[in-house]
Amino acid sequence: MSTATQVGLFLVRWDIGAALPGAPTFVLSGTVDTVRNLFNGACRMSQAINPPPDFSSNVQGTISYMTVMPDQTHILVVATGTTIQTLPPPAILSFTTTNLNLRMILSDDWTIGVAHVQYFFNNRWNDLENVPVHLDPASEFPTSGS
């Protein structure tokens, strides 16, 4: 599908990860609004370690179309993820902290790409570059005729 036919609001789910044993895998799911160029959703990480990681993030971002050469358009998704932290008693306080920074460059049909993922886990920032991105086949893409 070309980018010209994908107009409106649709659901997506991307699997972000190298599919290597022990490597973290992120599932990013949410809505793409091509009219306002926005992404809103959630991200969850899984990894084959013991204990399994407890990482999730509420993700908001922007979408841009990049044409680097004639007939070579890519989609750039830049997003930030947040989580709610709660202080233990006797404090009664919750606050939002950033725990994810994401940049994805996708093909013009949204199906494959690469990502740069920075995520806060185990009290430190972790950095993954050139991580493969694949669109889940169940994602819904409207066309201009539907």
Report the C-alpha gap between 101 and 2 in whole angstroms: 27
What type of residue is 17? G
- Inside any domain, residue 51: yes
- Inside any domain, residue 88: yes
- Inside any domain, residue 119: yes
**75, 108 Cβ separation under 8 angstroms:** yes
Q: List residues bridging with 67 in a β-sheet.
A: 73
- Inside any domain, residue 144: no
pLDDT of the residue at 141: 63
- Inside any domain, residue 141: no
Q: Residue 63's domain is classified under what CATH number?
A: 2.40.160
Domain of residue 58: give its range. 3-135
Q: Domains in the chain: how many in total?
A: 1
Residue 91: C-alpha distances to residues 54, 83, 86, 94, 123 (Å): 23, 18, 9, 9, 21
Per-residue pLDDT tens listing for the chain (146 residues) = 444 446 788 899 999 998 888 889 999 999 999 999 999 999 999 988 888 888 999 999 999 999 877 778 899 999 999 999 888 888 788 899 999 999 999 998 899 999 999 999 989 999 999 999 999 988 766 544 33
Interior angle at CA 61, CA 59 and CA 63, nearest 5: 140
pLDDT of the residue at 64: 95
Report the C-alpha gap between 112 and 124 in whole angstroms: 29
What type of residue is 128? L
- Of the candidates 105, 56, 117, the one whose C-alpha atom is nearest the C-alpha of residue 77 is 105
Both tokens assigned to 67: 């044409």
Q: List residues bridging with 102 in a β-sheet.
A: 79, 117
What type of residue is 101? N
Residue 51, preceding peptide bond in cis (omega within 30° of 0): yes
